[in-house]
């Protein structure tokens, strides 16, 4: 797939704080898993009055799915929160570091995430970008049920060496 509507560029991103829950195991194509994890964090955020218009929904990927067996895939699913927020029980806090990121903005169907990531990896190779040890993530920009074609607006992010 080549996503003709993709915009890929290098951006300096600010530090962000993420309230999240983790999952270990297969996740590809499992929309119910993501819904359950996001709902868990959102309920906690609402209980603590942390959700706002500026809140960003994010999934952080900790492993390369091509080299890590599916049963060992680690993801962190959550929402941005104000700096200084403390987690509790299953809700943990992490910082997404500030720095240079390759950001790909895509408008895709629910089953096109892997294709969008492939496009990002091709772009990185073609432009000789070197990923840093930092996070790879998806930042979700809309509710697909409210999109006229059911599309997902998503930014894929890869931390880069400066």
pLDDT, mean of residues 3-10 = 82
pLDDT tens digit string along 68-126? 999 999 999 999 999 999 999 899 999 999 999 999 999 999 999 999 999 999 999 99
Give me the domains of the chain, ranges plus CATH numbers: 7-160 (3.20.80.10)
pLDDT tens digit string along 19-59? 999 999 999 889 899 999 999 999 999 999 998 888 999 99
Please answer whether residues 102 and 8 qualify as being in contact, where contact means their C-beta atoms are separated by less than 8 angstroms: yes
d(CA 143, CA 41): 17
> Residue 64: which pLDDT band, with cuts at 50, 70 and 90?
confident
d(CA 53, CA 70): 34
């Amino acid at each position: 797939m080549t996503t003709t509507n993709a915009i890929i560029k290098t951006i300096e991103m600010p530090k962000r704080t993420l309230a999240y829950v983790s999952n270990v195991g297969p996740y590809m194509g499992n929309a119910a898993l993501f819904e359950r994890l996001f709902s868990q964090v959102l309920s906690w955020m609402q209980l603590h009055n942390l959700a706002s218009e500026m809140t960003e929904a994010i999934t952080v990927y900790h492993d390369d799915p091509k080299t890590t067996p599916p049963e060992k895939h680690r993801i962190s699913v959550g929402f941005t929160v104000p700096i200084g927020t403390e987690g509790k029980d299953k809700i943990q806090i992490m910082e997404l570091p500030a720095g240079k990121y390759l950001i790909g903005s895509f408008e895709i169907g629910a089953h096109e995430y892997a294709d969008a990531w492939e496009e990002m990896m091709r772009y990185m190779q073609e432009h000789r970008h070197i990923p840093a040890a930092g996070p790879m993530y998806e930042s979700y920009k809309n509710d697909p049920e409210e999109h006229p074609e059911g599309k997902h607006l998503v930014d894929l992010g890869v931390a880069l060496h400066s």
